[in-house]
Copies of this chain bind each other. A is one copy, B any other.
Amino acid sequence: MLRRYFPILSWGRVYTRQTLANDMLAAAIVTVMLIPQSLAYAMLAGLPPEAGIYASILPIILYAALGTSRALAVGPVAVVSLLTASAVGQVAAQGTAGYVAAALTLALLSGLMLLAMGLLRLGFLANFLSHPVIAGFISASGLLIAAGQLQHLLGVSAGGQTLPQIVMALIAQLGQINPATLVIGVAATGFLFWVRKGMRPALRRLGLSDSAAGIAQKAGPVAAVIVTTLAVWGLGLQDRGVSIVGAVPQSLPPLTLPALSPDLLGALLVPALLISVIGFVESVSVAQTLAAKRRERIDPDQELIALGAANLGAAFTGGLPVTGGFSRSVVNFDAGAETPAAGAFTAMGLAVAAVALTPLIYFLPTATLAATIIVAVLSLVDLSILGRTWRYSRADFAAVAATIALTLGVGVEAGVASGVLISLLLHLYKTSRPHVAEVGLVPGTQHFRNINRHEVLTDPAIVTLRVDESLFFVNARYLEDLIQRRVTEGSAIRHVVLMFSAVNAVDFSALESLEAVNERLRDMGVSLHLSEVKGPVMDRLRATHFLRDLTGQVFLSQFDAWQALHQTPRNLALRALP
């Protein structure tokens, strides 16, 4: 029991010196990568840069103790930071103490929700987000984030929550572009794109080993930070209008208290739920992919608990909402992290950075951080989901198109909400029409097949319907209508047989529908029979009046039903394919 909730008790007992070495190497690489990323995502969330580093210290340690993935690295991630900016921006002005406190409140609420969902084993709620909705949301968020960072690249100040607003604000500011900022921003963006795509092959052509080239690539963003910081410092660019990070407190994560006014809690409730669910879905899919590579497995409900604890940690140490990040987890895994201890070592590295290195980033231009964000998020944008869903299923396409359009045009919350709503409604619509096939006997066998697809024997007095789905309130009425329509079509019909081979459950509404069908058929002089009813369904039906009132019989097999009901051979008709 204790081990289930504290996986550290399992892997901690078999921790060897070799594991330690591997974990420490991975931690060193991840730490170098996380410093610029953490600063950038804090900026994206509208928070002071140190919040990003603080959010990667205690949360990582808590996840290491509670999480079931051995490679997942938690901290601020792009989409969650965007959601944070959107939610907190509605209750406080950026740059105020209220804004920082509200971000902590959001992390607190999200942490409590994740924890509660984990303890109540409500992880299934995340299933309501369909893959196309998530993919559409992440692509649209990537575009929104990239567009929103352009202002830092151009050295202007433009607001806007939606893509049209952002674009209009940028166009209005084109005259105020700061040339020095633009040079830094464009150079940094170009360099970082090259780091991502061209650096590794180039280094290998220069003779470096693949792993050395890989490590150099991970250090690329740090190189951009160092070079642009030195350039600003050396050339005094801050005096020519280049915006810089400035003074960052030199300390370990502080103890902070989230704001707790009822109004604030009320306003942040829905965004916190959204952040929790989206963060959880992202995190779990990364963790599952990495776990499979080593034939390990993760426990989604325990992941909820671990992510909840990580967010609570962020709330009380000056952070912001966090989750398991894709890029940092993959780097951690590739660098050879074997246990969550690697995360704990990363946390120590970042703690050292927070105490010792913050003075060095005084002259870091925000344009470099914006470039880091843009390059990172554009890799998330994949609009091919529109074409793929269009070809595969129009219902999925409708959900993804609505999600993208509303996320870009109205806002992140409207985008996700509409996507979830549309996919649920379309799903309920589809399930309200259960698959039902009229079947006949394949000559010379005991098998029954769809009369529209096979040459089968039918009897005008018998209608046999194979119900291919479980029956419940959403689809019961459709079956009622179908039977009534079918029976009024053929005046010779004396028996209706429902073949229940694929019916796993019959809820109370469907039971009452069956009772109504039985009565109505009786009024028409037609008997209702069942065949091939599964054990659990039969047990349920036995506890009701239905079987007693049934005008016909329950047959073990459909062939039994055929033999018992089909007594006049002259009625037999071989039905050719239409």
Q: Which residues of A contact B (CB under 8 A)?
A: 124, 126-132, 285, 288-289, 291-293, 295-297, 300, 388-389, 391-393, 395-396, 423-424, 427-433, 435, 453, 468-470, 472-478, 480-481, 484-485, 487-488, 502, 504-505, 507-509, 511-513, 516, 519-521, 523-524, 535, 540, 543-544
Contacts and interface: CB of A to CB of B under 8 A. Distances in A.
Contacts of A475: 127
A256 to B, nearest CB: 35
Given A296-B488, A392-B544, 15 more contacts: A124-B478, A127-B473, A127-B474, A130-B508, A132-B508, A132-B509, A292-B519, A300-B477, A388-B544, A389-B508, A393-B540, A396-B508, A423-B473, A427-B473, A469-B470
A432 B127 contact: yes
A130 B507 contact: yes
Contacts of A523: 292-293, 295
A391 B539 CA distance: 12
Contacts of A470: 469
Nearest to A392: B508
Contacts of A521: 292
Contacts of A429: 124
A468 B432 contact: no
B126 A477 contact: yes
A396 B508 CA distance: 6
A487 B546 CA distance: 42
Contacts of A509: 130-132, 396
A361 B476 CA distance: 46
A460 to B, nearest CB: 16
A475 B504 CA distance: 15
24 contacts: A124-B433, A128-B428, A129-B473, A130-B473, A130-B508, A131-B473, A131-B508, A131-B509, A132-B509, A285-B516, A292-B520, A297-B488, A300-B477, A300-B481, A391-B543, A392-B511, A392-B543, A393-B540, A395-B507, A396-B507, A396-B509, A427-B507, A468-B502, A469-B470
Contact of A520 (B288, B488, B505): B288
A509 B126 CA distance: 13
| Residue among A124, A292, A435, A477 facing the most chain B CB atoms (10 A cut-off) | A292
Contacts of A524: 292, 295
Nearest to A453: B535
Contacts of A477: 126-127, 300
Nearest to A420: B473
A329 to B, nearest CB: 15
| Residue among A391, A453, A520 facing the most chain B CB atoms (10 A cut-off) | A520
Contact of A289 (B292, B391, B516): B516
A-B interface, 9 closest residue pairs, ranked by CB to CB distance from nearest: A292-B520, A130-B473, A131-B509, A396-B508, A124-B432, A130-B509, A293-B523, A295-B524, A297-B488
A321 B531 CA distance: 44
| Residue among A475, A477, A488, A543 facing the most chain B CB atoms (10 A cut-off) | A477
A289 B480 CA distance: 11
Given A296-B488, A488-B297, A509-B396, A469 B504 contact: yes
A421 to B, nearest CB: 12
A506 to B, nearest CB: 9
A300 to B, nearest CB: 6
Contacts of A484: 288, 291-292, 297
A393 B488 contact: no
Given A128-B428, A473-B423, A474-B128, A508 B393 contact: yes
| Residue among A129, A509, A516, A535 facing the most chain B CB atoms (10 A cut-off) | A509
Contacts of A289: 516, 519-520
A398 to B, nearest CB: 11
Nearest to A396: B508
A427 B504 contact: no
A489 to B, nearest CB: 9
Nearest to A508: B396
Contacts of A508: 130-132, 388-389, 392-393, 396
A549 to B, nearest CB: 14
Contacts of A505: 430
Nearest to A450: B535
A127 B516 CA distance: 15
Contacts of A132: 508-509
A423 B396 CA distance: 24
B504 A472 contact: no
Nearest to A429: B124
